[in-house]
Chains A and B, each alone.
Chain A
Amino acid sequence: MKYITTLIFTLLLVVSSNETSFAGTIVVCKDCAIKKISTAVEKAIAGDLILIKKGHYFETNILIDKPLTLQGENWPILDGNEDEEILVIVADNVTIRGLQIQNVGTSYLKDRAGIRLRKAKNFSITNNRLYNTFFGIYLEHVKNGIIENNEVIGKAVEESSSGNAIHLWYCKNIEVKGNTVKNHRDGIYLEFVDSSTIQRNFSEGNLRYGLHFMFSNFDNYSENTFKDNGAGVAVMFSKKIDMWENDFVHNWGKASFGLLLKEIYDAEIRHNNFSFNTVGIFVEGSTRVNYHHNNFKQNGWAIKISGGCLDNTIETNNFLSNTFDISLSSSTNNNTFNGNYWSSYSGYDLNRDGRGDVPYRPVKLFNYVVNETPEAMVLLRSLFVDIINFSEKVSPIFTPEKVIDERPNMKKFDF
């Protein structure tokens, strides 16, 4: 009897291992044997490919609890009909590609999402379209995966009733690449996310931030474009964030910034482009941040430094035709400005070493005046303002004496 049991057990094992090694394909379409995606997922065994043909599928809460690949052919539409969320993935090694997921209803109690991953590893979500999905792609407790070339477009009207396009919570080693995220609350949101890469994304028209870091360390983002968001990027309460070659364009408004830094340490900001923002970078309580090789062009304020900023270096940047280059709210300063190009610098270079012989003071008296009485803004570019700025330049009284670029560059850098 014991012998027979062992035999059956072994047979079973062989059968099951066979099944995994020869992964099957299950086709879902309106005229096929299997008409619903959830049925296909139920019938599938680990490692199967589910091929979804073109069609309009009204299905919600499709629970994927085994390693599967969901592939769309000619953009099948998975429609939530303004109700529950659509794909919920709780297994490792899941791949989703080529689907159009749309219409997840707004909820004030639940964070519903187009695609949700919970406690999964090694996933890949590529080439999908998510339209009007409240939260687009929602990851919680997820490790090692890639979100690539998706288009997530929402219909956000106000912050309180809208979700984030790509939302990461307690994640590690995630790559977010080449996605387009528009019209959500935050384009890409990271909370407690470590060692992740955000690259070549395009974030536009999001109500709050184009990209938002909270309590996330050792991450980097590069080559992204942030346009017309409430604020381009917000990095808050994070350490060791590396930011390079991003474009921060046209973030306009009362509380709009290209980049907002709050309580961050040891960051690197290099080769970025800040143009036409109300405030290029707004810094509050940041320590040991290096700014170099950035372009600041025609911003209202290139860099606005609020209190509690220590040991930052601002070196080798271009400051081109900004209304105000630097604004500081405190009179003490131990941040370093060195070798930048300032388009409003009017000094000379007698020894011809490419560096100006006269120091440049990026904080003008009028900065100080506007901080004190904002209405004075209407006097910008007035001859009178030029005169008082000049007299202050000759003998600084109000402007912080230590905010000074001792050796400004004479020529614009080419980056």
Chain B
Amino acid sequence: MFKILKYSFADLSRSRWTYVYTGFYALLTMSLFLLSSDLSKVIISLMNVVLVLVPLIAVIFGVMYYYNSREFTELLLAQPIKRTDIFLGQFLGVAGSLAGSLLIGVGVPFLFYGILGSAEIGNYLILLLTGVCLSIIFSGLAFFIALKNENRIKGFGLAILLWLGFAVIYDGLLLLLLAVFSDYPLEKVALGASLLNPIDLSRILILLKLDISALMGFTGAVFEKFLGSNLGMVLAILSLMVWVGIPVLGIKFTSQRKDF
């Protein structure tokens, strides 16, 4: 598996797209620093970007990579290698290169602006952590979709729909639900539903850092317990970790059963 991982990682790190992706983040971060030298403001802006763009790019990249490397995959399948190793290796290669691009593109400019000694280091680490987790989760989901669908167009469509679903539609439905049942105490539902969506999870991690003043204004015991202590932070990070595992399991089972 590690050999495959190494090959696909090496393949990707030679790829033009990886450089474009890294370059884009570096450029974005630098230009934000040019606009404002205030570390916390740059982090806030980047958080918004990371929440939307990282999943989208991870989804597209994952699907694209799977379909493009199909011939190589078929070659590998003819060798005496375990299937799960092939696909997990490829997936980890993609996820690793995406996460690496993000870490280099976003992480390095901050080092030059002296993040290590500043008080914002916690927010910075949260930013990188959510970025890396989202890269892994969404490239994994993309791989899973691509494995399930031989048809490229359908695969791409589903992948984009998946992103749209998690990023926009899910929140819309949740809001609708909350509005319709506003007569009932729904704080547990609201929090629970947010834990089921990795983008919402990352968003809540960020909210806990940025908008805690407003969140403290909410009257509700569950909210207060969740947001007022470190419980919320810990729970959100744990659920994010669980989310990392879900696509991995999906890829494992599908690749074992799939008929090529």
Contacts and interface: CB of A to CB of B under 8 A. Distances in A.
A351 interface: no
Interface in A252-301: 252-254, 256, 276-279, 298-301
A381 B203 contact: yes
A165 B77 CA distance: 80
Contacts, number: 101
Given A372-B179, A372-B182, A387-B168, A378 B204 contact: yes
B214 A379 contact: no
A403 B178 CA distance: 27
Nearest to A279: B217
A168 to B, nearest CB: 31
B216 A254 contact: yes
Given A372-B179, A374-B220, A378-B190, A276 B200 contact: no
B48 interface: yes
A369 interface: yes
A300 B52 CA distance: 23
A375 B190 contact: yes
B172 interface: yes
A383 B214 contact: no
Interface residues of A, number: 31
B51 interface: yes
B1 to A, nearest CB: 35
Contacts of B223: 377
Bin the interface of chain B by size. Answer: 35 or more
Interface in A355-374: 369, 372-374
B175 interface: yes
Contacts of B194: 378
Given A299-B213, A300-B213, A373-B178, A380 B218 contact: no
Contacts of A385: 171, 175
B171 A374 contact: no
Interface string B150-187: 00000000000000000111011011001100100011
Given A276-B213, A300-B211, A374 B219 contact: yes
A376 B186 CA distance: 9
A213 interface: no
A350 to B, nearest CB: 21
19 contacts: A254-B216, A254-B217, A254-B219, A254-B224, A276-B213, A278-B216, A278-B217, A299-B213, A300-B217, A301-B217, A369-B175, A374-B219, A375-B189, A377-B214, A377-B215, A379-B171, A380-B211, A380-B215, A383-B167
Given A300-B217, A373-B178, A381-B203, 11 more contacts: A254-B216, A254-B219, A323-B213, A369-B175, A372-B182, A378-B207, A379-B174, A383-B52, A384-B168, A385-B171, A387-B168
Interface of A: 252-254, 256, 276-279, 298-301, 321, 323-324, 369, 372-385, 387
